[in-house]
Structure 1
Amino acid sequence: MIQGLSYRHGIFFFRIGEGIAHATYRDGAVKTRFLPWSWAGVGFIASRVLFTLPWYMWALAALIFLLRLPLYLLFLLGAGYHFLFPRSLRQYHGAEHKVFSYRGAVDLYNLREIADADIVNRGCSTNSVSQLFLVFLLLAPFVGGWWALGAAGLCMALVPRLARPFETRVLFPISAWLQRRVTTAAPSEEHLRTAILAYRSLIVGRAIPEDEYV
């Protein structure tokens, strides 16, 4: 199964146990890279995501420590980053979703059609994050933060499997609304080109330079 991950400066597409494709837009062109699935590859993903977090995420994390606030707030801050994405990340996230939604061949030749694809993704992590916050906010006043967070995590794992109709009819519409208005933004052509070339690189198993299309 192909999975995607966007960050401030680019996009990853990967198959666990197989390979990782990365693309970023730099100096007026898309730069691509393909890595085998390995600890080094996973570390590359983690470093790109972690070290491109905006300053306000680091400031909020520091504030939690300085004020000696409950440490479960760090988990909520990490999940809540979805609702604080900088615009460039929201655009890459939107491009990632459009690639997943498009039913034809994901290729630069079909860029215009991909641009018209749905920006909502059924498998987006916004689904899990919105559910986590919903359960946490409902339970925290009664059982405390840590218990509420644990229950929310358990629900994230069990509800899609054991309560699929409820997840489909109630929870997913909330996520879809958030995806359209909060966690994604309409991508520009550079974001779409980046997403397409990352996806193509994963499919063929090698980095595809943009100039192959010139």
Structure 2
Amino acid sequence: MRISGLSHANGIFFIGPTQIAEVDGSVIKKPVKKSTWWQLRLLIKAWRSLSIPVQLAVAFPTGALLGAAVWYQEWFWLHAALLYLASFHFWFPVQLKRYHGAEHMAFTIRRQKLEKESWMEADIRNAGCSTAAAVTGCFFLMGMLPFHGFDFHGVIITAAALSAAFITEVLRRRFPERLALITRLSGRLQQACTTAMPDRLMVSLAVRSLEELIKHEKTPVSVKTR
């Protein structure tokens, strides 16, 4: 049984197979369905949802305008790389970073069985964070860039994005030692870009929510963060 964490600008959701615990410790007593994910997505700040169309709005016009330029045909990979590196995954406002940090620390406290009073000792990095998938996607993107002469800019970006999460999960489960470099890079990016030190209340509420969910699920738990 997996429990996933989903941070947003107003809090954290811990999601189990059958129930969801909110950051305030309450538990939504209803089955988790596909529709539940859409409900959760609607609670996330609109800027995250709008970031993808904004990127597309930038990518296509500039690509069309620059496509006629000889230099762009040779350097379009830089355009693709900049779009990827500026993707919404690293556009985290301060409050979301703090909740994301609290989410990671709650998993660490639970995994290492730390006392809540020792929350400052909890690692803010998490090997299961989606940042690892973003880093994997970057490796895939860079690996595919030498083939840019075949003129499938969109296919390259799409393939990198879609394969990243799947490949990361397979490596994490079966060949964790091969994911060491990505895990280290992901950890550094988490510290620098996607998390910030939360306050004691944030961590306390996150731990209580996670424990509440585990208690209601009543099954062995492994954890994953997004």
TM over 0.5: yes
Worse-matched range after superposition: 187-196 or 155-164 = 155-164
Letter in 2 for 1:8: A
> Which of the residues 39, 47, 55 maps onto 1:44?
39
Between 1:111-120 and 1:152-161, the stretch displaced more is: 152-161
Cα distance in 2 between the residues matched to 1:63 and 1:133: 16
Match of 1:61 in 2: 53
CA contact (8 A) 1:97 1:121 kept: yes
CA contact (8 A) 1:14 1:20 kept: yes
Tell me the equivalent position of 1:86: 93
In terms of Rg, which structure is larger? 2
Tell me the alpha carbon deviations over residues 153-178 of structure 1, each in whole angstroms, 9 at most, x when there is no partner. 3354235167543312x211111111
Q: Deviations over 1:169-214 (max 9, x none)?
A: x2111111111111111111232133123213312339xxxxxxxx
Instruction: Name the residue aligned to 1:3.
Output: 4
CA offsets 1:100-120 (integer angstroms, 9 cap, x no match): 112227xxxx43223321111
**Equivalent residues of 2:125, 2:190 under 8 A apart:** yes
- Structure 2 SS opposite 1:191: helix
CA distance in 2 between counterparts of 1:39 and 1:151 reads: 24
Cα separation, 2, equivalents of 1:67 and 1:150: 13
SS of 1:4's partner is: strand
Q: 1:35 to 1:141 in 2, by over 3 A?
A: farther
5+ residue gaps, structure 1, are 24-29, 207-214
Which residue number corresponds to residue 194 of structure 1?
A: 205
In 2: Cα distance, 1:94 partner to 1:38 partner: 27
Please give the secondary structure, in 2, of the residue aligned with 1:65. helix
Identical columns (%) = 25
Calculate the TM-score normalised by the size of structure 2: 0.69
Give the Cα–Cα distance (whole angstroms) in 1 for the partners of residues 55 and 188 of structure 2: 30
RMSD value, Cα: 3.1
Distance 1:188 1:78 in 2: 29
| Structure 2 residue 130 is the aligned partner of structure 1 residue 125 | yes
Q: 1:154 and 2:185 equivalent?
A: no
Which residue number in structure 1 is paired with residue 178 of structure 2? Answer: 166
Task: Verify: 1:176 aligned to 2:187, yes or no.
Answer: yes
Matched, 1:95 2:106: no
> Could you tell me whether the CA contact under 8 Å between 2:125 and 2:187 is conserved in 1?
yes
CA 1:155–1:47: 2 relative to 1, 3 Å: closer
Count of matched residue pairs: 187
- Which residue is equivalent to 2:223? none
Match of 2:214 in 1: 203
Q: Determine the C-alpha separation between the residues in 2 that align with 1:151 and 1:141.
A: 14
Alignment partners' CA distance in 2, 1:99 and 1:181 = 19
Amino acid at match of 2:215: V
Structure with greater helix percent: 2
Contact in 2 for aligned 1:34/1:202 (Cα 8 Å): no
